[in-house]
Amino acid sequence: MMLIAGQILLGCALLLCVWRAWRGPSAEDRVLALDTLYVNAMLLVLTFGIRSGTSLYFEAALVMGLLGFVTTAALAKFLLRGEVIE
C-alpha cells in the first residue's frame, strides 16, 4: 500500500517536471527539469522493480542513471560553448 502511494507521488513529481520543462523561461530551466525527470523516472522504475521482484528493472534503472548524466553533461556543454565536441 505504501509502495503504491510512493508510485503515485513519483508520478505527480514527473508531471511537475514536465510542466517546468514545458514552461521554463530559459534553456537551463528545461535542462534542469529534464535531469530531474530522469532521476524521478529512475526512482519510479526502482519502485516497479521492488514490487515485481525481478532484477531486470534494476539494470534498467542503472542504465537510466548513466544516460541521464550523459544527457545533462552534453546539454550543459552545449549551452556553455555552443557545441558539444570541439
Partner 1 sequence: MSGLGEALVLLGAVLAFGGSVGLVRLKTFFERVHPPTMGTTLGTALVLAGSMVRFGTLHEILIAFFITVTTPIGYALLVAAARRRRRAP
Cβ atoms of 14 and 38 closer than 8 Å: no
Distance CA 56, CA 42 (A): 13
Q: How far is the CB of 29 from partner 1 (least distance, A)?
A: 6
Cβ atoms of 19 and 49 closer than 8 Å: no
Q: How far is the CB of 23 from partner 1 (least distance, A)?
A: 9
In the bound state with partner 1, the residue whose beta carbon lies nearer, of 46 and 85, is 46
Q: How far is the CB of 6 from partner 1 (least distance, A)?
A: 3
| Amino acid letter, residue 61 | A
Query: Using CB under 8 A as the criterion, which residues of the chain lie in contact with partner 1 when the complex forms?
Result: 1-3, 5-7, 9-10, 12-14, 16-17, 19-20, 26, 28-29, 31-33, 35-36, 39-40, 42-43, 46-47, 49-50, 53, 55, 58-59, 61-62, 65-66, 68-69, 72-73, 76-77, 79-80
Cβ atoms of 42 and 68 closer than 8 Å: yes
